[in-house]
């Protein structure tokens, strides 16, 4: 098993692609952003994630398609946080706030291939002290592995030499029908509460019950109503547990009635950011040749709660020297 060329970054850095497979599932991973570029299930003619056939598509459409978001996934209010009484100012790349690690986030960096075989690939990233304003040097190893019959496992390990934040999330856009929108997909999220946000999408600090709201996915139901409508209200964290767990637990289940494909997301992370993809507006055709627009795919991002450094009572994303950040996330595909 070897890597193949996928393109060259503007600074001359080479980007490579690796296809891994086992059982009924195969996945293509590229070294830019540790991106999941393509996922295929035996007997299904279309891709199950949104992606681009060339590197140019990812450079022209910086919406984190398939990337690993970090050093801190999601938002930090004002790009500012404190650890042990010391305040740090991060880059501000979404108005006044910091999003997905800033412009130099993990999803925009080229990772190194550390190991590879038919069913797995391990990537590494060495993030220097001071990148985007973060304290401490962080070393990360990420292994994508395909397990029979249809599981794509993400295993992440990070260490640091100074107290810092580490909160990584896989940012694939799923469309299990392979075309159109995800508004008819059936979604289940076993969360009793979610995090309401202000106008800048920063959590208010409240844990609001989902019961009686449009955020109640405890029982399987369609994401949207009228197929012509744009579902633009979903970009929120759902609180499945109050902290990281040792064993992956169910965060979400997604089914396409059109294709009969189902996806379960299991993770050791406490929250899942459900983003309905209402801001997608691609300038390049995707893997199927379709120009993706609003709600062409959705994200189910396992994570620590957004803005946790500034929200008392939220799970902590602080990593200290001598500790190891660990995340296990499983994307389990099947025919419903």
Long-range contacts of 81-87 (CB under 8 A, 24+ apart): 81/165, 81/309, 81/310, 82/309, 83/135, 83/163, 83/164, 83/165, 83/309, 83/318, 84/163, 86/135
Q: How many CA atoms lie within 13 A of 328 on its CB side?
A: 8
Contact 100, 69 (CB under 8 A): yes
**Burial grade of 322 (CB within 10 A; 0-12, 13-18, 19 or more):** exposed
Q: How many CA atoms lie within 13 A of 149 on its CB side?
A: 8
β-bridge partners, 317: none
β-bridge partners, 113: 123
Question: In angstroms, rounded to a whole number, what is the distance separating the alpha carbons of residues 308 and 162?
Answer: 19
The three-class DSSP label of residue 79 is helix
- Number of Cβ within 10 Å of residue 105's Cβ equals 25
Active site residues: 171, 301
The three-class DSSP label of residue 108 is helix
Give residue for tokens 């990537």.
123
The three-class DSSP label of residue 68 is strand
Cβ-Cβ contacts under 8 Å for 241 (sequence gap 6 or more) = 249, 270
Q: Which two tokens stand for residue 98?
A: 């910091």
Question: In angstroms, rounded to a whole number, what is the distance separating the alpha carbons of residues 183 and 254?
Answer: 11
């Amino acid at each position: 098993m070897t890597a193949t060329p996928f393109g060259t970054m503007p600074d001359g850095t080479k980007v490579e692609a690796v296809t891994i497979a086992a059982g009924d599932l195969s996945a293509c991973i590229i070294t830019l952003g540790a991106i999941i570029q393509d996922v295929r299930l035996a007997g299904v003619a279309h891709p199950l994630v949104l992606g681009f056939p060339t590197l140019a598509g990812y450079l022209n459409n910086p919406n984190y398609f398939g990337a690993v978001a970090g050093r801190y996934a999601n938002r930090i209010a004002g790009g500012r946080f404190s650890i042990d009484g010391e305040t740090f100012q991060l880059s501000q790349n979404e108005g006044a706030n910091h999003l997905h690690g800033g412009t130099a986030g993990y999803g925009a960096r080229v990772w190194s291939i550390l190991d590879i075989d038919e069913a797995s690939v391990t990537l590494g990233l060495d993030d220097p002290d001071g990148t985007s304003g973060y304290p401490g040097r962080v070393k990360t190893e990420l292994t994508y592995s395909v397990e029979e019959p249809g599981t794509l496992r993400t295993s992440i390990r990070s260490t640091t030499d100074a107290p810092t934040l580490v909160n990584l999330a896989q940012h694939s856009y799923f469309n299990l029908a392979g075309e159109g929108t995800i508004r008819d997909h059936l979604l289940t999220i076993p969360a009793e509460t979610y995090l309401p946000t202000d106008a800048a999408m920063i959590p208010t600090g409240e844990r609001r019950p989902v019961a009686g709201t449009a955020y109640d996915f405890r029982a399987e139901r369609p994401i949207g109503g009228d197929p012509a409508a744009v579902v633009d209200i979903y970009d929120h964290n759902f609180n499945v547990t109050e902290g990281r767990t040792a064993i992956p637990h169910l965060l979400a289940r997604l089914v396409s009635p059109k294709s009969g494909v189902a996806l379960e997301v299991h993770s050791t992370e406490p929250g899942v950011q459900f983003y309905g993809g209402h801001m997608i507006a691609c300038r390049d055709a995707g893997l199927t040749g379709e120009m993706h627009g609003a709600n062409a795919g959705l994200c189910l991002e396992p994570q620590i709660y957004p803005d946790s450094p500034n929200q008392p009572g939220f799970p902590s994303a602080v990593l200290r020297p001598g500790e190891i950040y660990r995340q296990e996330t499983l994307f389990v595909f099947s025919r419903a």
